[in-house]
Amino acid sequence: MSKPTTNTSSNNNTKSSSTDTSLAPLLRHFVGISLIVETKQGRTFRGTLREADAYMNLVLSRTSNKNPTTKSTVEGSLASEEFDLVHIRGPSIRYIVFGANVDISGVIKAGRDRERAASDKYRRGVRKARK
């Protein structure tokens, strides 16, 4: 019997781009999911993901903010602010926490199905020019 050959990266014809392995393109599948975002400045935002782009800039809706620099009237607790929309720059994000009840693989599968359906709809709309 001969030994099976293994594919190395030099023999492999498919190339993976950096967008295939980063979190930024994955976030677009989580639109509508509640999450918590902690920034490098120490602020914590809890809200529903409304938009995400390729640079990991996020827009959260119905957002509450826990700010460690502002003390409330009760000593030792953090002040909370409510916002309709919050834009968070990607480079300032430290952590993104999804809820424990989020089925991550199911959300990704549903997002891929939505993208596939949208691309199929687009292809159906493209018509050939008459001669």
pLDDT for the residue numbered 93? 95
- What are the domain boundaries of the chain? 22-123
Alpha helices in the chain (DSSP H): 18-21, 24-27, 104-125
Residue 118, Cβ density class (10 Å: 0-12 exposed, 13-18 middle, ≥19 buried): exposed
Q: Cβ(34)–Cβ(58) under 8 Å?
A: no
- pTM flag (> 0.85): no
pLDDT for the residue numbered 128? 59
Q: Which tens digit of pLDDT belongs to each residue from 37-86?
A: 999 999 999 999 999 998 999 999 999 987 765 554 455 556 678 899 99
Please state which CATH number belongs to domain 22-123. Answer: 2.30.30.100
pLDDT for the residue numbered 21? 64
pLDDT for the residue numbered 36? 94
Q: Which tens digit of pLDDT belongs to each residue from 97-125?
A: 988 888 888 988 988 898 888 888 777 66
- pLDDT band at 127, cuts 50/70/90? low
Residue 42, Cβ density class (10 Å: 0-12 exposed, 13-18 middle, ≥19 buried): exposed
Q: Which tens digit of pLDDT belongs to each residue from 4-50?
A: 444 444 444 444 444 456 778 788 888 889 999 999 999 999 999 99
pLDDT for the residue numbered 126? 58
